[in-house]
Structure 1
Amino acid sequence: MNTVTGPYRRDVRDWIVDLSMFLLALVFAAMTLLDFPPPGPPHGDVPVITVPDHPTWWEAAERLAALAACTSLWWRRRWPVQIAVSLIALSVVTDLVSGALLIALFSLALHRPPKVSLVVFGLGIASVGLKSLVLPDPHLPALIAFLLSVAVQGAVIGWGLSVHHRRELVDSLRERAVHAETEAQLRAEHAQHQVREAMAREIHDVLGHRLSLLSVHAGALEYRPDAPAEEIARSAKVIRESAHQALQDLREVIGVLRAPVGELPQPTMADLRQLVEEADEAGARVAFTEDYDGTVPDRTGRTAYRIVQEGLTNVRKHAPGADTRVSVRGAPGEGLTVEVRNGRAPAPVPRGGSDGQGLVGLTERVSLLSGRLEHGPTPGGGWRLSAWLPWPA
């Protein structure tokens, strides 16, 4: 709905439309002065300008009123109600404002709510009835003239309301399009945020495991500088291999981030044994048992791998050297149970600044699969990390 409340500035189209409406109202007023007398002498069928049986001042007042009515159309967008009501009142005493009145009624229906337009239309019907008493049409019966005037005003109001509703529909569709575009952009940003969170979890899981191996062996070399040469060489080899593998993992992550489409390389259940062997080589003393039949779904297998990886990483951080048991058991229809349990650390380990984001990430992974994750201390002073993951039959 177009409602002008502040200073209104016309563009080129508005100037053309307003000038056209002004000239159209003037032409309508001039044609109202023409009269078509009955056929016959002295004029036949040629229209002439008749001189009504009114005083000269009345004729001048009518023409000034018609000029003022046509001029008022220039402000019909700003004050459509006031101008329409004023022209309705003038139409009772003069026919010269009829053209300006119809244009004002159309503009009113276009720029104001339908309720306001219908109220003003009611005033127009009343003015037509009053006019039939004040200025009866000499060529038409009163009832026919009344119905014709009401029909013309009703048609103009209806046309204006139709254009009004069509503009509202277009504006509504435009707003919906803008809203849909904004919503699509928000969904894309949300999806991008989720992808970034997934990338962060993958980087934490992949590099955290490798770097924890480096930390364990580097710490052993620091605290045992007098270790046998074979043990030092073995630790240096593990450090070199772990650093090399960490760089390879980092290259893969960066490659995926640079690629337009892609995913991080994902582990499977087949990689679990290699993961446990790496931890065992680092001195974690891990016992691994597998007891499941069938092929584990890829997504469930990846989540199981990440659970074991996080559990072994936490053992190296908080209980290095502790006896650790990793068990994976289950069957289709029963689910897959993954457990990492470690005993008490051989020596007290100072608590670092771990923020527990690994367990938070695991909780998110398991919840996405509608599984369950439990973790906490055991009576013997160790730690237990256990998860149940659904495995459809």
Structure 2
Amino acid sequence: MPPADETADAPVCNHVDWAEVGSESSRSRRTAVFTALLIVFVAAFVTDYTLVSSSDPFVAGYDPTAMDWLFGFSLCVFVFGLASVASATPERFFDILTQVRGRPAEAASLGYLVAFFFVGLFGPVLVGQPSPDVIHASQPPVFATVHDLIIGNCVGTVTEGLCHGTFQFPFGTDPFGRDMLWVTVQGAHIALQVALVSSVIIVPIATIVGVTAGYFGGPIDTLLMRYVDIQQSVPALVFYFIAIFVFGRSLFLIVLIFGFLGWGGIARIVRGAVLSLRNEHYVTAAKSAGASNLNVLRKHIVPNVADTVIVSTAQQIPYLILVEASLSFMKLNAIELPSWGETIRWGMGEYFPMFWWISAWPILFLVLTILAFGLFGDVLQDALDPQE
């Protein structure tokens, strides 16, 4: 058992009475719907990898990769979980909106994250595939100018030897004629994949380990926390360096390694919350009434640490996005992916500062995304997991 002072800084959880969070029948219906969706998804995945030839598209001319399947599964889990929480505990959303109201920076961050989600999800479909054309190479953004002698084929107007940007290419183009709007949107799609997939991996592992260690204590707690110590002593980056020599560079490998090795800190926070919850009167009453450990965990412990998990995960997402961008910048991700990090590296090379907009757009949106997640994490902290 840990000494008493280990729980002094444990998060203060909003006490949730699970019996009041929707009826048993409504929870059963949500479980049945999720199970049915999961079965359909798994059946589609198995069909693609067993019955469909690798040279043939799976559906509508589209052949999903392993990363696409993992992203699709993560998206289903995220949307279903969000809908379930919204229908079962709508007051939590009002708490968030209350915290945002009157705080312009946090409100702007929430609006940006909503836009980031939809752009990352639907943007690649809306902007379509690029059609590189050297005639349109190196066009400046709509608000900028560049010397006409540098471009040679200015799409916009030319005044006093300066080529003006045009709304045909509002973000400009790269030296190969690719629309920088398409490149930026693709980078948002990759960042969204990293955020969702990593979170879906981290949340259940961190919750299970943290709840188990905190609730049962003793040798189980010691064993799990010592494993967390060992895991955190070797950075996930080291494992990725080793793995790329075996499997090659890929976004799929990044999200798997940083997902399966990035939950230790959150598990410790969850454990601290459980240590402060397991002696609460309603937990003691449930045990006295003969409730099994599984029922106590399911009905009283896990609902009360859910907010802690959500807040901690939201605060870790910017780190994961920055890790992927950094690896791409160092050419340690698949180089064919138009990640923000890869585009920044490429734009900061021989084309900088002449064609500054190549690296400027991904830098801008990378900074905005990390800042928005940070501010929104503070909002979640205040609304869902207040510490006093």
Choose 1 or 2 for highest CA Rg: 1
TM bracket, shorter-chain basis: under 0.3
TM-score by structure 1 length?
0.21
Judging by fraction of residues, say which structure has more strand. 1
TM-score by structure 2 length?
0.21
Higher relative contact order (CA 8 A, sep 6+): 2
